[in-house]
Amino acid sequence: MNTNQPTPTGSGPTISHPVKQRALGAVIGAAVGDALGAPFEFEPAGLYPRRFPKPVIGGTGEMIGGGDFHWEPGEFTDDTQMGIALAESILANGCYSHDTAWQWFRAWAATASDVGATTRASLRNPDWRRVANHIQRGAGNGALMRSFPFAVALLHADPDTVKDIVVRHGALTHPDPAAGWGAWIAVELCRHAIHGKDPFTQMDTLLDRLPTDLRPLFEQLLAADWTPESEHPSNGSVWGCLAEAVWAVRTTDTFEDALTAAIALGHDADTVGCVTGAIAGAIHGIQTIPSRWTTYINGRIDSPTGPRIYRTADLQRLTTSLLGLNETSDEVLEHAAGPVEVAPRLYAADLLGAATVPTDWAVVSLCRTGHRFDGHPVRRQVFLIDQEGDHNPSLGDAVGDTVRSIDAFLAEGRNVVVHCHGGRSRTGLALKAWKMHASGITEREAHQWLASRWHRYHDQNRSFVEFLRNDWRPALRPTS
């Protein structure tokens, strides 16, 4: 059998900004769900809401780390590690290959602290072709948890190609057919969502394509009226994990609500969180994922050429590459400006100016920062594009997240610096939104207030101005 399968990365129609942001939401949402759920793995249901009865907007949020494997705050587990290895294998080979994926998986497993039992047993074989003869069948969730890069790499592929690649890939480590077919359902839900469709309207069509012997249980667990209170396989199985994730997304309206509902179910909480985060992120997009979660994502894998470190920015670059797009670079930096106090303990700056503040300050970044703020324990990295039109499809979520973070940091008695690359449009958007919310003033009044205090500010981005004039107050809804 020829195992080199085409992955038409970057082919097909031009990728719009909303589509790109939903693709980013799928990949980064999976990592966020994994890392947020990691401390609650193997724990009973209900522990997450007892630990966090309400959202933690200030400080470092709910990314606490710990758990049986002593994860660092924001560190992702084997779920995301294997997803990264899969994505990198596709990019390294130029298409999907069992052989290349196997090399990456074995390199990862050689030093990984957390490897599922079925996966570890499979990867002891030097050749993936031996797995089916040596591994007992068991429909674990290990194939499901790592498959979401396919939703991006195969975004424009025909359905039969997607099915063939994902199902066969699942069998690399999990020969039970249910494992691969469950992964395929999740990948297709994400693909439909990234394209801007309601993924759950496709559920019956997906179920109809399942092998006859697998269909009844999947139909039961993925029914619209199913709830976790119903008797079902554990969420360590592909059945229970996918059912709980679909339920969490289907019965909520936001990324945050879906993820907290999923992790509250406990047990294999990191994997249910990973699957939920991927589907919810594909639906809602990266700008809807709370920055108090995305900011702290971190982890490492061993690749065939050595160790690699990944943070949120690295996952963004990985996703962009899977889409066949080139990562845009920032303009040349100017001389440092700021920090300048615009309100008590609230400061404006550009990137270089913000990089000079003490590490006990809270930093709210509205642009890419590299590693400049790694030494700042309290910070937020908000996904915001300084372009007009459809570049910020969830602008209200991003700005609302920013203002809530500023308020929380100020309430904690911290000095807060808000910055973007040049300290102009995005910094102005955030600070004007904060002032409008704090003082009940209009956009033009906020404009005059900021222009008199911060010399770098300008309001040339008309999309930002129109948003503040027309949509801002409804956008600042309380976090759930």
pLDDT digits over 5-36, tens only? 555 454 556 899 999 999 999 999 999 999 99
Question: What is the residue range of 268's domain?
Answer: 17-323
Q: Are residues 200 and 304 in the same domain?
A: yes
Q: How far apart are CA 316 and CA 149, in angstroms?
A: 12
Q: Which of 323, 352, 381 is the last residue of a domain?
A: 323
What is the domain-level CATH number for residue 230? 1.10.4080.10
The answer to whether residue 184 sits within a structural domain is yes
Q: Are residues 297 and 437 in the same domain?
A: no
Phi (first) and psi of residue 298, to 5 degrees: -160, 160
The answer to whether residue 480 sits within a structural domain is no
Q: Which of 323, 351, 367 is the last residue of a domain?
A: 323
Is the per-residue pLDDT at 330 higher than 80?
no
Residue 133 has a pLDDT of: 65
Q: Are residues 370 and 313 in the same domain?
A: no
Residue 3 has a pLDDT of: 43
DSSP line for 378-446: SEEE------SGGG-TTHHHHHHHHHHHHHHHHHTT--EEEEESSSSHHHHHHHHHHHHHHH---HHHH
pLDDT digits (tens, 9 = 90+) for 77-97: 999 999 999 999 999 999 999
The answer to whether residue 4 sits within a structural domain is no
Residue 370 has a pLDDT of: 92
Q: What is the mean pLDDT of residues 137-141?
A: 84
Name the one residue in this structure whose structure tokens are 């040049």.
Answer: 422
Q: Which of 293, 323, 353 is the last residue of a domain?
A: 323
Q: How far apart are CA 172 and CA 132, in angstroms?
A: 8
Are 349 and 332 spatial neighbours (Cβ–Cβ below 8 Å)?
Answer: no
Confidence of residue 337 (pLDDT cuts 50, 70, 90): very high
Q: Are residues 142 and 260 in the same domain?
A: yes
Q: Are residues 304 and 351 in the same domain?
A: no
The answer to whether residue 166 sits within a structural domain is yes
Residue 14 has a pLDDT of: 85
Is the per-residue pLDDT at 382 higher than 60?
yes
Instruction: Work out the burial of residue 150: count CB atoms within 10 Å of its CB; fewer than 13 is exposed, 13-18 middle, 19 or more buried.
Output: buried
Q: Are residues 170 and 311 in the same domain?
A: yes
Paired residues of 381 in beta bridges: 365
Q: Are residues 353 and 315 in the same domain?
A: no
Instruction: Work out the burial of residue 3: count CB atoms within 10 Å of its CB; fewer than 13 is exposed, 13-18 middle, 19 or more buried.
Output: middle
Tell me how many domains the chain contains. Answer: 2
Q: Are residues 316 and 410 in the same domain?
A: no
Is the per-residue pLDDT at 394 higher than 60?
yes
Q: Are residues 287 and 374 in the same domain?
A: no
Helix (H), strand (E) counts: the chain: 23, 9
Q: Are residues 272 and 387 in the same domain?
A: no
The answer to whether residue 105 sits within a structural domain is yes
pLDDT digits (tens, 9 = 90+) for 163-215: 999 999 999 999 999 999 999 999 999 999 999 999 999 999 999 999 999 99
Q: How far apart are CA 128 and CA 43, in angstroms?
A: 33
Q: What is the mean pLDDT of residues 145-165?
A: 98
Q: Are residues 307 and 443 in the same domain?
A: no
The answer to whether residue 10 sits within a structural domain is no
Confidence of residue 480 (pLDDT cuts 50, 70, 90): very low
Q: Are residues 370 and 292 in the same domain?
A: no
pTM of the model: 0.95
The answer to whether residue 12 sits within a structural domain is no
pLDDT digits (tens, 9 = 90+) for 352-377: 999 999 999 999 999 999 999 999 99
Q: What is the share, in percent, of the chain residues with pLDDT greater than 90? A: 89
Q: What is the mean pLDDT of residues 137-160?
A: 95
What is the domain-level CATH number for residue 351? 3.90.190.10
* Mean pLDDT taken over the chain: 94
